Structure 1
Amino acid sequence: MAAGSTSAALLAIITNPAQAAAVPEDTEELKHHLKEGKGFVNPWDSYIERGGWEIGRKMAWRYLSGKANKPDTTPPTVPVHKPKFLPSRDTTALRATWLGHACFYVEFPGGFRVLFDPVFTQRCSPLSWLGPSRYTEMPCQIDEIPFIDAVVISHNHYDHLSHPTIMKIKELYPNVHFFVPLRNKEWFTKCGIHNVTELDWWESRDMKLSAQGINTDSGKASISKSGSVDSVNTSRAGSEDIHAVFGCLPCQHTSARTGFDKSHTLWASWSVESGGKKVWFGGDTGYRSVPELDKGVDDYDPKFRFPHCPAFKQIGQLRGPFDLGLIPIGAYDPRYIMSPMHANPYDSVNIFMDTRCKQALGIHWGTWVLTEEEVLEPPQILKKALAWKGISEEGVFDVCDIGESREYAEPATP
């Protein structure tokens, strides 16, 4: 199927939800907004602020002192397969395809299609010739994805927001709608993209895709110079509208595109509901801040009482349960440096339980070397963390190969 057919096919209408979603009692206090109005903060005891330069110095010293581990990326590592996307919108099950790192493509029952944190470049960097390079191949190109109705961005770090990728999506899918956290819209506008909705934590929007008044018999999409739809093949039985609800939700992280704009824009997790199924996308997040401990010491030992982020339990109580969680499990070592903003698998399982996800897949691993853990360690530790919590059923919180799709018709036993 030609790329862009979906974008032209259905007209998107963004509105406030007909019924207000539940929010915490203190939401209006906007504790995550800096008082001078110049950015955002993680408003919990579970977060310890460390500047980008401080983190860089600590990591550099580890390498210079010989303490750092250099992960082995020699193949084979994570298997990569060519994705098999559904050729039409006629979908009865929730279907999720991992495209590497935090990028997932989700096909909802009823036809809605969402792409999360797409990065289709060799490096996650502002430079094409410097920065972390993929040790696993991209499973496909953007133009091989048949339908993209919405793109969800968790925050503006380069491994989650890629300028070349966004511009390619704009070219191929001119009517796609972007959902971004607060103060990220300006970046898109400067890129010439105006189909953008930015939201603060706990805000929601309805999105309706309507084929009303569109010629659905045409075999080819046609877009006028003004951007309006002339004719289109919807590749979808019937002409009913498709509805989705997007919720911008908290997570514990930061943002930056340079060394001088840390936390100027908001970071977020997201919920998306369509076709009777609901997905929670964790994006990139920490759970608790752990100090430097002796090697081999378990920071979950009961003798330690490190605060954990309360937002995830609020998400579960107020917006859950979720049919599927896409939860980060990688980029966590060294723990004392990374824990405020990156979850390790033990944190991930706690997040899974707090958010009341019925099933989950691990994200944020298997693509770039960003930290010091071995590249195949996250799924190995995830199994231990699940056993630690007494979760023994297969497929409840799992990982998959890059390019692999998983279907969720009925929830597994949690």
Structure 2
Amino acid sequence: MLSAIVSSPSVASAQPSDVSAKAHHNKNGKGFVNPWPSYRDASGIGFPLQILRWKLRGKWNTPDLTPPTVPVRKPEFLPTRQTDKLRATWLGHACYYVEFPGGLRVLFDPVFTDRCSPYSWIGPKRFTDMPCQVEDIPFIDAVIISHNHYDHLSHPTLERIAKKHPEAQYFVGLGNKPWFKHMGLDDTNVTELDWWEERTITLSSTEKGHGDQRQKDIAATIGCLPCQHTSARTAFDKEQTLWASWSVTSGDKKIWFGGDTGYRTVPELPDSEFDYDEKYAHLPHCPAFAEIGQLRGPFDLGLIPIGAYGPRALMSPMHASPYDSVNIFTDTKCKRALGIHWGTWVLTTEEVLEPPKVLKQALKWKGIEQDGVFETCDIGESREY
């Protein structure tokens, strides 16, 4: 078992010149905002009414869940902390387990429940099986949560993680720490961060060998970074806690976790029109990703959302399409990427196998035709870098 110390880094990473203005803090009240013209508020109490309007107009597609859909395999986690490669395992939706060279083990947005809902009997139900259980994961040093939506933050899952891995450290955006205490979870291991802030985590254990004791340390820098999204767990706490993307640097490898994000807001268009047609080139896109790439990149691996994007006029402010995703990929300066935020729950209207197909089209459109640069994998599959 490793003990953890979380501290401010000795040398701070680069930040935007206007970071002190905190433009994403709501100046008219409590909570946070997306401070860019690329975002339009399409969530909140009116969101279900907008969905109803689309359904009444016959424009809300119900995806076909007839098997087979996304392949699921049993993951093969490394039995020890020894590895000289970066290893990423997709556990469904936005959940990735990443094994870093040097020993750090990080779990992103874990949801090990059948439904992403406050209740076990209603809400979106998995159409693919869970590839494993929390108890099957041998090491969890850090748990990183992008935001508090139910498909990314799961109370039953965190209870199980805390029981199996009591020393695990949790990293969340501002305002999320009180939730841990309210839900009966230990909040002493929780670190809240604002956009562009970062912390160093040092894991230490005493190993015995040849009659003496050797101190083994694992170090990592974890950074909280912007994205274009929103937050809420009820009808009354909209945007009260901060959403974020994240970076993790350890063992000479650096990754960027996109979590859940939009890139630009697209108006309602005829079905025959492409929203990246030249006539829509004027639509603003979120500038934060280029800042991330310039100030914190390049990244060895990006975990970038590619699903839950239809219909575009409704979902585009907060969910990237694969065409948005490849722009985010190049903006953030990721060398390689894996697609997340698909293949687990039906949240929107696109067919469940559509995101990886459209991703291939988007990569070709972007002029990225090298195999393996930005790809998807089976649930439970691991990729090494």
Interval of TM-score (by shorter of Structure 1 and Structure 2): over 0.9
Does 1:397 find its partner at 2:363? Answer: no
* Per-residue deviation, 1:239: 3.8
2:268 & 2:130 partners in 1: Cα distance? 35
Q: Which residue of 2 aligns with 1:129?
A: 121
1:112 & 1:344 partners in 2: Cα distance? 31
Partner residue of 1:315 out of 289, 292, 308: 292
Partner residue of 2:194 out of 200, 204, 217: 200
Partner residue of 1:264 out of 231, 240, 252: 240
Partner residue of 2:331 out of 348, 354, 357: 354
Does 1:253 find its partner at 2:229? Answer: yes
Where do 1:71-110 residues align within 5 Å?
Answer: 71-110=63-102
1:344 & 1:104 partners in 2: Cα distance? 20
Aligned CA RMSD, in angstroms, stands at: 1.2
Q: Which residue of 2 aligns with 1:412?
A: none
2:214 & 2:38 partners in 1: Cα distance? 49
SS in 2 for 1:67: coil
Seq. identity, % = 67
Where do 1:326-337 residues align within 5 Å?
Answer: 326-337=303-314
Where do 1:39-54 residues align within 5 Å?
Answer: 39-54=31-46
2:58 & 2:367 partners in 1: Cα distance? 38
* Per-residue deviation, 1:381: 0.2
Where do 1:181-200 residues align within 5 Å?
Answer: 181-190=173-182, 191-193=184-186, 194-200=188-194
* Per-residue deviation, 1:303: 1.4
Q: Which residue of 2 aligns with 1:386?
A: 363
Partner residue of 2:347 out of 360, 366, 370: 370
SS in 2 for 1:52: coil
Number of matched residues? 379
* Per-residue deviation, 1:216: 4.8
Could you report, residue by residue, the CA deviation over 1:2-61 in whole angstroms, capped at 9, with x for unpaired residues? xxxxxxx11100110010110000000000001144000000010011232222111112
2:115 & 2:293 partners in 1: Cα distance? 34
1:61 & 1:126 partners in 2: Cα distance? 25
Partner residue of 2:277 out of 301, 316, 322: 301
1:370 & 1:309 partners in 2: Cα distance? 23
1:50 & 1:389 partners in 2: Cα distance? 28
SS in 2 for 1:240: strand
What residue ranges of structure 2 are gaps of 5+ in the alignment?
A: none
Q: Which residue of 2 aligns with 1:228?
A: none
Partner residue of 1:17 out of 3, 9, 17: 9
Could you report, residue by residue, the CA deviation over 1:79-114 in whole angstroms, capped at 9, with x for unpaired residues? 000000000001100000000000000000010000
Letter in 2 for 1:391: I
TM-score (norm 1): 0.90
Letter in 1 for 2:370: E
* Per-residue deviation, 1:346: 0.2
Residues 208 and 214 in structure 2, CA contact (< 8 A), matched pair in contact too: no
Q: Decide whether aligned partners of structure 1 residues 25 and 127 sit closer, same or farther in structure 2, where only a CA change above 3 A counts.
A: same
Q: Which residue of 1 aligns with 2:59?
A: 67
Could you report, residue by residue, the CA deviation over 1:358-381 in whole angstroms, capped at 9, with x for unpaired residues? 000000000000000000000000
Could you report, residue by residue, the CA deviation over 1:236-267 in whole angstroms, capped at 9, with x for unpaired residues? x9642000000000000000000111100000
Residues 15 and 196 in structure 2, CA contact (< 8 A), matched pair in contact too: yes
Partner residue of 2:168 out of 176, 188, 213: 176
SS in 2 for 1:266: coil
Could you report, residue by residue, the CA deviation over 1:268-318 in whole angstroms, capped at 9, with x for unpaired residues? 000000000001000000000001111121111111110000000000000
Query: Which stretches of structure 1, 4 residues or more, deviate above 4 A after TM superposition?
Result: none
Does 1:32 find its partner at 2:8? Answer: no
TM-score (norm 2): 0.97
2:215 & 2:86 partners in 1: Cα distance? 21
Letter in 1 for 2:18: D
What residue ranges of structure 1 are gaps of 5+ in the alignment?
A: 1-8, 218-236, 409-414
1:116 & 1:380 partners in 2: Cα distance? 24
